[in-house]
A and B are shown apart, each in its own frame.
Chain A
């Protein structure tokens, strides 16, 4: 293929790069075009990426770096503070509230993540079938996702109150009242139940998309070989959606570790009786906000959360790689 268009016309740069030797008389113009190509090749992608990069730098990277820096200072909300080295981290090590928060956040991950990996998948398989009225159920399961977390929290507090619906039912059945909102562990598990209930619909949609890509022929072939429903689920469905399960595990791990709203709304601003239900992010909020907030200490807490979550992600990705191998 050869060029018949005069140099400088639209598209000449591209042709100069791809259309083979340039005619002798046109070489100088071709070199200039080549230099422009080189410059544009370097510049153009950045130009397109610039708006996004600026936003990322302003709202993610700068605050992140600023937080890391602040974690080495004794900065307060209204007082700039001084460099204190690792003092905040040393204080964390001896802070009971930090260990309580770490325990609760870790427990949240351990309980919530398996539930959010498995239950939405089962739910997705239930609502995957094309039967009349299934749209209603899909919408119903998705409704908690779009509901305001504050409204959700209030509803659950009403349900769990000692004069609420659940306790009234328990009393009607002859069982005693359960102090859901006054007991340290019940409070935490109630908050976990709310998180799972609110997350089911979201991950159900993710799984529905994955299930739609599972070839029907594989199921049919397995069925012809005599595989039952459970066998088909284990041998066909699960391998097909495994990468989605890893994604759900990764995302729900992060969400569970940085849980705030559910616990705050159900256990109260103090984080349950004597603050025993406080999670790490609640501790950041409590320590670092307000006019007397210890920004430096809260920043150190945030950095620790960041590191823990990164480690958590690496573990999930490593498990995925082992499965691949």
Chain B
């Protein structure tokens, strides 16, 4: 059996994200043991039910308490191969830790995310050989996109003895994990290190800079029909497409950027600097809008979230809003953008906004706000063209890939799909959880069970 070690390019050092401090730094041994021993080791624990990957949280925490850190990592990773990054980036406040029984008792919930990160980081640093792949099956699976869903799926498939080949359009694998996570939660190097480990679990190939298209026209393109022909099964982990636009006058041109595009540059582009940018308006009320505004505020920039609904309508997590506000981010509700204002040289000078009631503009209430940069965080488009190029794969009205919720299999019996392109955009841990279901179903099909 040949083992490929996919080459993952290094990221250059002098990027803006390196300026950020870790908001939840790794635990030292003593801290982890003290926190672990606080856990009650509940039975039928609410934290497990709140985890989209159903990690046996009380068990892994008890193992940390007994000094069985390798076993703790095994418990985590057998349910969630991206257990390390999920420990760092999961919104534990609304998932596992939010469900901890201590909350009802008015005590601090167990710091499950930090314990999880501790266990996986420490165990893998001491011995990355936690799992051994099964004997080769000779089955080959293509995975489209290298985001968390595909990475996790490739890892599990490799452990089952299958060959996995990941096709990624970008030059860095990892999708949201690598290029979209707020830098005070996780840095690019951390994400790539985890991906490197997952890809080393078995026979996994990674093709970077390759796009899947309906009809191939260049060496950097592979057609969907070629994948279906060459592989025993296909996994679509497409993620989401480019940032949506506001569709208002003045939007075209420099000084207006999409939110995920900006975060990606902040994390990975060493040439990005905010010279002459003192005020930024971030349009949107979701978690991406908070991330951008929070990140800019930490760089000392006056950043304001602009949202057309009321405070109570904000879809962003409360704990993220609170933590962003502590770091200086502002939130301006009940305003809707009308136009991007520019001077005669075309440079952005501000934004005309209008007051809203019940998210509807109130005539005659326009005002002009100053800004040097406008960031648009109102959603992302879907990669419908790629999905549609696989015969039988269907999309819903909102461009999401339709799957059987029990198996994550699409209308094409050889194609499975999971992650943002299916759920419309959720957490990393949701993508991993869905990928696990898809792999279980795909593995049964490949081995001729329940096909």
Are A and B part of the same complex?
Answer: no
